[in-house]
Structures are given as C-alpha cells and as structure tokens.
C-alpha cells in the first residue's frame, strides 16, 4: 500500500516581522491571535506568545479558558491571554514593551536571545 502525504507550505509566517530588542514600534493592535507559539499582531508583527505577564495585573481581565488543568496547577498569564484591541510601544535597543489596554499599562520584558 502506498500512502502519499501532502503538506501545505505556508510562507505567510516568513513575511511577519519579529518584535525584538532592536525594534522601535508604536502600534495600535486591532487583531491578535496565537498561532503555533507566536502571537501575531495585525497580521504583520509577532512576539513569542508565551511571554509571561507580571503576576500583579489588576486592571486587565485575563480569562482562564483552559478546558482542563492538573489538580493544584494554577493559570500563569501569558501575552497571548490579552485580547485585542490594545496598543504597544517599544523603543529601539530596549528589552521593554509597553502594552496599554483599557487605560492600564503593562511593562513586558523581552527575553535576551542567546547566540
């Protein structure tokens, strides 16, 4: 028996721009979604979707939409838990991203790339 498998190659993600420490950006994010570990913003930019949020977030509602979680495990909020719309600001050669949603500001720190 011959089984043929066909995989569609999606070049869409190669056209995306990574927001990293060298980026300078002011962006109103109207569309954001998680796809294969990256958080895609306005179909143009991306960040690692597992970027951790500060533990003391109070003003921004983060919904835990897990279907199942092991007993005793808690939800650890991540960037991909924040739904659009929001704004982000980032200065060039800086590891901080300022995310503003509903008049609250969160400062996120990008991980350093180890080469």
Q: What is the pLDDT of residues 63-85, one digit of tens each?
A: 777 788 888 888 778 888 888 99
Domain assignment of residue 102, given as a range: 11-54+74-109
How many domains does the chain divide into?
1
Predicted confidence band at 112 (pLDDT cuts at 50, 70, 90)? low
**Does the residue 84 lie in any domain?**
yes
**Does the residue 69 lie in any domain?**
no
Q: Would residue 36 be called left, alpha or beta, if left means φ above 0 and alpha means ψ between -120 and 50 degrees?
A: left
pTM listed for this prediction: 0.75
- Whose CA is closest to 16, among 96, 109, 36? 36
Residue 104, both tokens: 């609250």
Let me know: does 80 contact 34? Beta carbons within 8 Å: yes
**Does the residue 5 lie in any domain?**
no
């Amino acid at each position: 028996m011959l089984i043929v498998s066909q995989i569609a190659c999606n070049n869409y993600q190669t056209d995306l721009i990574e927001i990293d420490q060298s980026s300078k950006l002011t962006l109103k994010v109207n569309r954001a979604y998680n796809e294969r570990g990256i958080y895609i913003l306005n179909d143009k930019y991306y960040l690692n979707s597992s970027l951790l949020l500060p533990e003391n977030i109070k003003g921004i509602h983060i919904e835990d939409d897990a279907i199942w979680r092991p007993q005793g495990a808690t939800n650890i909020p991540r960037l991909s838990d924040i739904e659009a719309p929001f704004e982000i600001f980032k200065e060039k050669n800086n590891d901080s991203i300022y995310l503003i949603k509903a008049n609250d500001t969160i400062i996120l720190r990008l991980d350093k790339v180890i080469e």
